Amino acid sequence: MSAPDASPLRLGIAGLGTVGIGVVKIVQRHAEMLEARTGRKVVITAVSARDRTKNRDADLSSYAWEVDPVALATREDVDVFVELMGGHEGAAKDATMAALKAGKDVVTANKALLAHHGQALAELAEGAGRVIRFEAAVAGGIPVIKALTEGLAGNAIRRVMGVMNGTCNYILTRMETAGLPYETVFEEARQLGYLEADPQLDVGGIDAGHKLSILAAIAFGTKVSFEHVVLEGIGCISIDDIRRAADMGYKIKLLGVAQMTGRGLEQRMMPCLVPAASPLGQLQGGTNMVVIEGDSVGQIVLRGAGAGEGPTASAVMGDVLDIARGTRLPTFGQPAARLADPIPAAVSAPAPYYLRLQLLDKPGALAKVAAALGDAGVSISRMRQYGHADTTAPVLIVTHKTTRDAIDVAIAALPATGVVEGQPVALRIEEV
Ligand code: NAP
Ligand code: HSE
Q: Which ligand is nearest to the CA of 189?
A: 2
Determine the residue of 174, 192, 196 to mutate for testing ligand 2's pocket, defined as the one with the most ligand atoms within 8 A of the Cβ atom.
Answer: 196
Nearest atom of ligand 1 to the alpha carbon of 19 = 26
Q: How much is the average pLDDT of 16-44?
A: 98
Q: Which ligand is nearest to the CA of 86?
A: 1
Q: How much is the average pLDDT of 379-403?
A: 91
Residue 116 Cα to ligand 2 midpoint, Å, equals 17
Identify the bridge partners of residue 47 per DSSP, sorted by sequence position: 13, 65
Average pLDDT taken over every residue of the chain = 96
User: What confidence score (pLDDT) does residue 323 get?
Assistant: 98
Phi, psi of 13 (to 5 degrees): -110, 120
**pLDDT by residue (tens digit) across 208-254?**
999 999 999 999 999 999 999 999 999 999 999 999 999 999 999 99
Task: Provide the percentage of residues in the chain whose pLDDT is more than 70.
Answer: 100
Instruction: Mention every residue, 6+ apart, whose C-beta is less than 8 A from residue 158.
Output: 259, 260, 293, 294, 295
Residue 92 Cα to ligand 1 midpoint, Å, equals 10
The neighbour count for residue 375, using CB atoms within 10 Å, is 11
Same-fold call for 9-141+313-338 versus 353-429:
no
**pLDDT by residue (tens digit) across 85-140?**
999 999 999 999 999 999 999 999 999 999 999 999 999 999 999 999 999 999 99
Picking from 276, 181, 191, 188, the residue whose alpha carbon sits closest to that of residue 234 is 181
Cβ atoms of 146 and 140 within 8 Å: the answer is: no
Cβ atoms of 270 and 308 within 8 Å: the answer is: no
User: What confidence score (pLDDT) does residue 4 get?
Assistant: 81
Ligand 2 lined by 305 (C-beta under 6 Å)? no
Q: With cut-offs at 50, 70 and 90, classify the pLDDT of residue 361.
A: confident
The neighbour count for residue 98, using CB atoms within 10 Å, is 18
Q: Does domain 9-141+313-338 correspond to CATH entry 3.40.50.300?
A: no
Q: Does domain 149-305 correspond to CATH entry 3.40.50.1820?
A: no
User: What confidence score (pLDDT) does residue 186 get?
Assistant: 97
Picking from 134, 32, 117, the residue whose alpha carbon sits closest to that of residue 81 is 134
Per-residue CA distances from 189 to 203, 255, 306, 371 (Å) = 11, 19, 16, 43
User: What confidence score (pLDDT) does residue 396 get?
Assistant: 95
Taking the C-alpha atoms of residue 91 and residue 93, their distance in angstroms, rounded to an integer, is 6
**pLDDT by residue (tens digit) across 69-86?**
999 999 999 999 999 999
Residue 348, amino acid:
S
**Protein residues with CB under 6 Å of any ligand 1 atom:** 14-20, 48-51, 54, 69, 84-86, 91, 109-111, 136, 140, 307-308, 312
User: What confidence score (pLDDT) does residue 386 get?
Assistant: 87
**pLDDT by residue (tens digit) across 278-294?**
999 999 999 999 999 99
101 annotated ligand binder: no
User: What confidence score (pLDDT) does residue 79 get?
Assistant: 98
Task: Provide the percentage of residues in the chain whose pLDDT is more than 90.
Answer: 95
Q: How much is the average pLDDT of 58-77?
A: 98
Pick the CATH number of 353-429 from 2.40.50.100, 3.20.20.70, 3.30.420.40, 3.30.70.260: 3.30.70.260
Sequence spans of domains, the chain: 9-141+313-338, 149-305, 353-429
State the pTM of this model. 0.97
User: What confidence score (pLDDT) does residue 3 get?
Assistant: 77
Per-residue CA distances from 353 to 273, 363, 399, 404 (Å) = 8, 25, 5, 8
Q: Which ligand is nearest to the CA of 85?
A: 1
User: What confidence score (pLDDT) does residue 347 get?
Assistant: 85
Cβ atoms of 428 and 273 within 8 Å: the answer is: yes
Q: How much is the average pLDDT of 316-321?
A: 98
Check if 211 is active-site.
yes
The neighbour count for residue 346, using CB atoms within 10 Å, is 9
Q: With cut-offs at 50, 70 and 90, classify the pLDDT of residue 1.
A: low
Ligand 2 lined by 306 (C-beta under 6 Å)? yes
Cβ atoms of 79 and 104 within 8 Å: the answer is: yes
Per-residue CA distances from 186 to 200, 253, 416 (Å) = 11, 15, 36
Determine the residue of 144, 165, 283, 316 to mutate for testing ligand 2's pocket, defined as the one with the most ligand atoms within 8 A of the Cβ atom.
Answer: 165
User: What confidence score (pLDDT) does residue 389 get?
Assistant: 72
User: What confidence score (pLDDT) does residue 296 get?
Assistant: 98
The active-site residue out of 104, 211, 251, 368 is: 211
111 annotated ligand binder: yes
Identify the bridge partners of residue 380 per DSSP, sorted by sequence position: 399
Residue 307 Cα to ligand 1 midpoint, Å, equals 13
Ligand 2 lined by 319 (C-beta under 6 Å)? no
User: What confidence score (pLDDT) does residue 5 get?
Assistant: 87
Determine the residue of 85, 96, 116, 142 to mutate for testing ligand 1's pocket, defined as the one with the most ligand atoms within 8 A of the Cβ atom.
Answer: 85
